[in-house]
Amino acid sequence: MAKTGPVEYFRQVRAEMKKVAWPSRKETTVSVMAVFVMVTFASIFMYFADQTIAFLVRLVL
């Protein structure tokens, strides 16, 4: 594989970045909100699972 210099490397990077299909602002906003909702649900689930397991361990011990 041939080595390229820094100038050629950044030229190639720029050309590849032009090919990327960037999401719209609306798509990004919807995705971010979906992530926040899922993280909230997961943290609530983990909290209750932890409390349940801690209760069961206290019963056993």
Helix (H) / strand (E) containing 26: helix 25-60
- Tell me the mean pLDDT in the region 28-40: 98
Q: Which two tokens stand for residue 23?
A: 């999401």
Task: Write the CA distances from 14 to 6, 20, 37, integer angstroms.
Answer: 12, 10, 35
Kindly report, residue by residue over 9-19, the tens digit of the pLDDT.
999 999 999 99
Residue ranges of the domains in the chain? 23-61
Alpha carbon 42 to chain centroid, angstroms? 14
60, pLDDT greater than 80: yes
